[in-house]
Amino acid sequence: MNRPLIGLIPLYDDEKESLWMLPGYMDGIVSAGGTPLMLPLTEDEDMLGQMTELCDGFLLTGGHDVSPALYGETPIEACGACCPARDAMEKKLLALALERDMPVLGICRGIQFLNAALGGTLYQDLPQQRPSRIEHHQKPPYDIPVHKVTIVEKTPLAELLQVPVLAVNSYHHQAVKELSPQLTAMAYSEDGLVEAVYMKEKPFVWGVQWHPEFSWKTEESSRKILEQFVKAAKK
Ligand code: MN
């Protein structure tokens, strides 16, 4: 058995004061050959260190808006609820993971968090700050593609998928504004938003703005992304 252990950042339900997980993240990692493990929310350095020893890669899941304080802004009214416990844990865990060159995949909030944590900024609310005719906040079912992204040539995503354009699902009201100098764009939406990124100098640190956890059953490209992540975690 050679299933890498993938640590998943839990989602947080404010009303129920409960940690939770979408099955798509878990099942998608299982299907890609990994073993998913939902982590606790903690800032304890010893526990975070232990997680980096135990896990072979980390999945930064979707969820709350990233706190604008992380990129030096105050929240506008249209900014959604934030989850300080996640921001704090992910910041520390990401630093440890990067130190160790561990594979990290950020999905939705995950790509936004990567960008904000690495010195970039976000649109706090797309409809207000960057209105567009492109649907970025679709209604269910979430496994249906609603807009296209152009994949940047010669990026790892282009190498993996071997297609110039991809139709993706889209369920986000925030997005990358100024790209972190440590990240390189791998895909742009039709209205010019950064929808996929990677860290050039790391073996596998990727972020996607769309949702492979909803589409891996129906979209081969989503399966390939999850498989590439799990494969990177095997080394
Ligand atoms: Mn989108």
CA of 47 to the centre of ligand 1 (A): 34
CA distance 204 to 228: 9
pLDDT at 31: 98
Residue 164's Cα: distance from chain center in Å? 21
CA of 135 to the centre of ligand 1 (A): 7
pLDDT at 118: 98
**For 3-7, what is the mean pLDDT?**
98
User: Which residue intervals of 118-173 are DSSP H helices?
Assistant: 126-129, 156-161
In the chain, % of residues over pLDDT 70: 100
Mind listing the pLDDT tens digit for each residue in 135-175? Answer: 999 999 999 999 999 999 999 999 999 999 999 999 999 99
pLDDT at 235: 75
Identify the CA nearest to 192 among candidates 147, 137, 162. Answer: 147
Average pLDDT score, the chain: 97
Q: Say if CB 12 and CB 83 are below 8 A apart.
A: yes
Mind listing the pLDDT tens digit for each residue in 221-231? Answer: 999 999 999 99
- Contacts of residue 183, defined as CB under 8 A and 6 or more positions apart, other chains included, come to 114, 115, 118, 120, 197, 198, 199, 207
Identify the CA nearest to 89 among candidates 164, 146, 145, 8. Answer: 8
Mind listing the pLDDT tens digit for each residue in 43-93? Answer: 999 999 999 999 999 999 999 999 999 999 999 999 999 999 999 999 999
CA distance 19 to 101: 27
pLDDT at 13: 97
CA of 145 to the centre of ligand 1 (A): 10
For the whole model, what pTM was predicted?
0.98
Residues taking part in catalysis: 108, 211, 213
CA of 17 to the centre of ligand 1 (A): 29
- Stated as kind and residue range, the H or E segment containing 30 is helix 23-31
